[in-house]
Structure 1
């Protein structure tokens, strides 16, 4: 049992922390972020697609519908989950018969059965969003196009140079990547799938990671983020979703082998 627990925490907590250290060394302690952005920065002082309205809609505005709808569906489902027990299903009546005919009863039964999962998704989204906003406001890092490196007025700084714990560091709000974190938050569904030992849980994980990387990389192309901002968003989201999952399910349910 101890080795199983150690293995679980090594993969789910130890590995993300190791990745965070690697990001810190490879990006934050070097100029690799600038090298990547310089390579993308056009000679006429512009980033590709920086002012392209269609690209902005396709990669930034419209994709928000995926995490937004997921969160809204979880909230609605969590609220509906409290209705079925109030209907006293052990004593069928006219109302229950009507709900069955309208095919509403199966939905209410489903939400009641998965109330914990729905509440987990709601809380995980809230925790992750809160963590991202905390780090944004307590580091006050400006986006590439806002810095003097790329035509802006603000100096480029690393997040650890500006970090304050108890109060906001300033008006900058670029670290970590907010748009990337929206895609990464879908990883909450992976922990739900992991709880049920669903054999496609890894596909949910890889899809969530890919979505976050796509969200973040497109913003790098527009000059609104450095590449490391995306990677940091992924680490922070993972840790937030993991800790919330541990609070809801415990490590034993998450460590069971796949079916």
Structure 2
């Protein structure tokens, strides 16, 4: 029987690329979206779900089990972007980012764990970010949401190994997706002391996404991880420079690494 895969945020970008790639290789894929009625050309089933609504999560899990009788793989991909000076970022937007990027995946995991425990197996992959490994200027809240998920999964993985369940974090760098269009941007205020630096950094961030790698690269890595009997805990997918930046953070003194980031973003 084919493996049954649930992908949150499967309607576009990385989630869509993963879903298409796995479907082409015989997996039974169920993606989710808050507005599935707007998606007409998907190669796999798209179900209505909001990771911030536990009732909708449970409904999707129940629907998949009624159709497929099992859930082998969950890919927590749904998330939102957020940028801005932390001082000027509204509290409600900070809470929304943590709710979606951190609590959302945790709620999905909680919903599927009983079934995976009954099966005696299952694999949960969490799409985090290379940004989770460092505090990036004007992207600090986003980095924090993904870092929180990375660390929590490290703990949760150890708690659930006894049930035959695997958990893996996959951290992408910049990929050519529509994340910038749906990202919350704190307003560029003319009288803000951050105005110039934030504006320049925001422009650079958007250019990095526009010139990012093809999401198909992520799909191929995820497929390989799913087919690996004993996968690693952490994977990084991105340019050599992006992956090397994590290595540098481990080996360089804090202030040296900070100066490197300041120079990269043109900040003083």
TM-score range, shorter chain: under 0.3
Larger radius of gyration: 1
Q: Give the structure with the higher percent strand.
A: 2
TM-score (norm 2): 0.27
Q: Give the structure with the higher percent helix.
A: 1
TM-score (norm 1): 0.27
Greater relative contact order (Cα 8 A, min sep 6): structure 1 or 2? Answer: 1
